[in-house]
Amino acid sequence: MRSEFSRAEVVVDLDAIRHNVRLLTDRAPGAAVMAVVKADAYGHGAVPAARAALEAGARWLGACSLAEGLALREAGITAPVFTWLDAPDVDFAPGIAAGIDLSASSTGELARIVDGARRTGKPARVHLKIDTGLSRNGCPLYAWPALVKAAAAETDVDVVAVWSHLACADEPGHPSIDAQAQRFQAAYDIAREAGLNPLRHLANSAATLTRPDLHFDLVRPGIAIYGLNPVPQHENLVPAMTFRSQVVLTKRIEAGESVSYGHTWTAARDTTLALVPAGYADGVPRALSSRMDVWLEGKRRPIAGRVCMDQLVVDCGDDEPALGAEVVLFGAGRDGEPTAREWADAIGTIDYEIVTGMYRPRVPRRYEGV
Ligand SMILES: *Cc1c(COP(=O)(O)O)cnc(C)c1O
């Protein structure tokens, strides 16, 4: 049964998130799971997703910015939280006061964390990040011994972990994975030689699923928690997000009549059109114009012509959908509806970008399995 909603809505199935987290905890029996809930939990809602993940056995939460971490604390979440990327002028003190673990990629960043710790009167919990080959965030190997030495000497810092991030884990067997693992080991050895005894974490979703040898103490899955599979092999993950709308108008048009801006689609025969009040301002990429189906009254039906800012049109042939009939734009794919992966493939991106892009003030989010 359809509940009341205005034009379009995102429905997040928290039971799916719990199922996916249980699958990941089972796959990494020797490691704790850090559920990555950055970017508002990839568009699913950071606080509800974090709570569901913790209920299902995740022990840590990972976010990108300190602001994202603090929002979890403000919601009353007390589990370990780790954040790793902020502007150089961020004040770490509120994060340290809130017991949030921080990442340091350089001695400069470490010094700013130490400054925050002194002002807080509490040691900072720090994870030292080694760049093992992604060449993005993280300390390059040539600067690593100095960073480790500075952290080991610092009484206002507890070094909790050494960590890194993989570039190509979604391509199992890619030679960079082993190369990064070797550098990670070398960086860890240097930390041990400096007298530290840190945890280690390296694996994202793809490595959690395919590289048990790289699980170490903690794994950091993100996308798989939301049920999207980053690796080529089948995994029993359940996509948590459904994007849906409803039919607000139907009409017959005659063969030869054209539809929507630019008249890029013309009816080959007399047909019934259904108007759906969801457009690119709601998260339907305009690039899907005439290139994707929706799921409507038990069938896939094609989008006819351009996706507009607020609406799109569906070709229903000789069927006459009911006003208010549910239109699934993408979902878990169980019944045959399109998936976020199918959208991504159609427009040349990844499903990460599709679901993360669904966080829009215009589109209400509703939770199932609360
Ligand atoms: C986003 C992110 C993850 C999670 O990656 P997935 O591919 O979504 O599993 C883990 N670690 C870091 C540092 C990240 O930025």
> How far apart are the CA of 356 and the centre of ligand 1, in A?
13
C-beta of 220 in contact with ligand 1 (< 6 A): yes
272 shares a domain with 220: no
What is the token pair recorded at 364? Answer: 């209400």
**Residue 204 Cα: closest atom of ligand 1:** 9
Strand partners, 330: 243
| Prediction pTM value | 0.97
- Classified as helix, coil or strand, 41 is helix
- Classified as helix, coil or strand, 76 is coil
205 shares a domain with 66: yes
pLDDT confidence band for 5 (50 / 70 / 90): low
Among protein residues, the one whose CA lies closest to atom 13 of ligand 1:
165
329-342: per-residue pLDDT in tens? 999 999 999 999 99
In the predicted structure, residue 2 carries a pLDDT above the cut 70? no
Q: Is 358 annotated as a binding residue?
A: no
Let me know the angle formed at the C-alpha of 122 by 66 and 116, rounded to the nearest 5 degrees. Answer: 45
Q: What is the mean pLDDT of residues 10-38?
A: 98
d(CA 351, CA 360): 17
**Phi-psi region at 178: left, alpha or beta (left = phi > 0; alpha = psi -120 to 50):** alpha
Residue 146 structural domain = 31-226
148 shares a domain with 258: no
298 in a domain, yes or no?
yes
Burial 45-54 (b: 16+ CB within 10 A, else e): bbbbbbbbbb
214 shares a domain with 315: no
**Residue 3 burial by CB count (10 A; 0-12/13-18/19+): exposed, middle or buried?**
exposed
Among protein residues, the one whose CA lies closest to atom 6 of ligand 1:
222
Catalytic residues: 38, 261
222 shares a domain with 107: yes
22 in a domain, yes or no?
no
163 shares a domain with 271: no
DSSP for residue 276: E
Which residues have C-beta within 8 Å of that of residue 212, sequence separation ≥ 6? 27, 28
> How far apart are the CA of 221 and the centre of ligand 1, in A?
6
Strands 258-259 and 265-266: antiparallel
270 in a domain, yes or no?
yes
> How far apart are the CA of 50 and the centre of ligand 1, in A?
15
C-beta of 36 in contact with ligand 1 (< 6 A): yes
166 in a domain, yes or no?
yes
- Classified as helix, coil or strand, 284 is coil
pLDDT of residue 295: 98
Give me the number of domains the chain comprises: 2
Q: What is the mean pLDDT of residues 137-165?
A: 98
364 in a domain, yes or no?
yes
Q: Does the CA dihedral 39-41-43-47 come out positive or negative?
A: negative
- Rounded CA Rg of the chain: 24
C-beta of 227 in contact with ligand 1 (< 6 A): no
- Classified as helix, coil or strand, 63 is strand
